[in-house]
């Protein structure tokens, strides 16, 4: 006898991205197919991708997800910021699955529990489970994953409120400990600078992208603390970089950058979007 999954209801389908499955598939496929990637040497361990409405950041996100074409991970850890004022430092869903117009994605409850247990050992607290959250920055990536990956997968969803080094480094280490024995992929969801004029945004984003490409999660956090660059998901981004480094990744390649002004034509106050891929070099042949 089958039981129905407890599915998280989507608060953004039909608003942040198309609610019609055919239109959603076509738009996501177009963003991915129009991305022109350089040659990528090594295995993809993680991607970094924006999380605005698809019409705004989809063309940039397409570059990150184009790097995943042909991959078939069993588990995908999507780490995003939590924009709403929950009291807990790190959160996950209490539901058994996420749903988009393209289908249902089950949550890997065992992996969630394992990461939470690792965090308790390191920090004294784990992942707080929440229901009916309205966070867009995690869900917005799911249709891209559904169209780019070669088979169904389970989800490890984590939303970050505390964006400091102590918590996010512990999260990265905990993710690596759990994912090391799994066929898994990491996704960091973050936009870049918010509501600066285009010229200023490009300068701030260039500094944040430099920190990302230097594979330095501490620098990512310090750049915002010092006002040199901004990323609303800097904690999620840093955690994924720490995890990827522990998993053997050794380089980051920035693939694309744009701003909302490049879509709307309004350059007075823009939001920056960047896409990058984290790679593990192939073994050297002696």
pLDDT in tens, 8-40: 989 999 999 999 999 999 999 999 999 999 999
- Give, to the nearest 10 degrees, the angle between helix 198-213 and helix 217-225: 150
pTM (global) more than 0.85: yes
Q: What is the mean pLDDT of residues 259-282?
A: 97
Give the angle 185-9-97 at the CA atoms, nearest 5°: 40
Q: Alpha carbon 178 to chain centroid distance?
A: 18
Q: What is the mean pLDDT of residues 47-51?
A: 98
Q: Are 96 and 3 in contact (CB under 8 A)?
A: no
**Of 79, 80, 42, 75, nearest in space to 249 by CA:** 42
What lies within 8 Å, CB to CB, of 249 at 6+ separation is 45, 46, 215, 278, 279, 280
> How high is the pLDDT of residue 4?
84
Q: Percentage of the chain surpassing pLDDT 70?
A: 98
pLDDT at 2 over 60: no
pLDDT band for position 169 (cuts 50, 70, 90) = very high
Classify each residue of 96-107 as buried b or exposed e, where b means 16 or more C-beta atoms within 10 Å of its C-beta: ebbbbbbeebeb
Q: What is the mean pLDDT of residues 135-146?
A: 98
pLDDT band for position 1 (cuts 50, 70, 90) = very low
Q: The tokens 């965090």 sit on which residue?
A: 119
Backbone angles phi, psi at 232, to 5 degrees: -65, -25
Condensed to tens digits (0 to 9), the pLDDT of residues 61-117 reads 999 999 999 999 999 999 999 999 999 999 999 999 999 999 999 999 999 999 999
Query: What mean pLDDT is reported for the chain?
Result: 97
């Amino acid at each position: 006898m089958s039981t129905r999954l407890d599915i998280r209801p989507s608060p953004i389908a039909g608003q942040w991205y198309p609610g019609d499955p055919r239109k959603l598939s076509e738009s996501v496929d177009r963003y991915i197919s129009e991305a022109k990637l350089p040659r990528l040497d090594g295995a993809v361990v993680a991607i970094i991708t924006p999380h605005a409405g698809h019409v705004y950041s989809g063309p940039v996100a397409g570059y990150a997800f184009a790097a995943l074409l042909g991959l078939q991970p069993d588990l995908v850890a999507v780490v995003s910021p939590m924009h709403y004022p929950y009291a807990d430092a790190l959160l996950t869903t209490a539901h058994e699955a996420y749903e988009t117009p393209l289908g249902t994605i089950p949550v890997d409850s065992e992996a969630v529990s394992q990461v939470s247990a690792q965090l308790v050992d390191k920090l004294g607290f784990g992942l707080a489970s929440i229901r009916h959250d309205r966070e867009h920055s995690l869900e917005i990536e799911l249709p891209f994953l559904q169209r780019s990956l070669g088979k169904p997968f389970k989800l490890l969803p984590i939303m970050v409120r505390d964006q400091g080094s102590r918590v996010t480094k512990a999260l990265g280490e905990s993710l690596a400990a759990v994912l090391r024995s799994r066929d898994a992929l990491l996704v960091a969801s973050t936009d870049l600078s918010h509501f600066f004029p285009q010229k200023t945004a490009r300068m701030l984003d260039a500094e944040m992208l430099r920190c990302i490409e230097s594979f330095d999660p501490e620098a990512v956090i310090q750049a915002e603390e010092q006002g040199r660059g901004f990323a609303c998901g800097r904690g999620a981004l840093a955690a994924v970089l720490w995890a990827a480094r522990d998993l053997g990744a050794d380089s980051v390649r920035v693939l694309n950058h744009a701003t909302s002004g490049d879509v709307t034509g309004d350059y007075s106050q823009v939001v920056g979007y960047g896409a990058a891929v984290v790679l593990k070099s192939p073994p050297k042949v002696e």
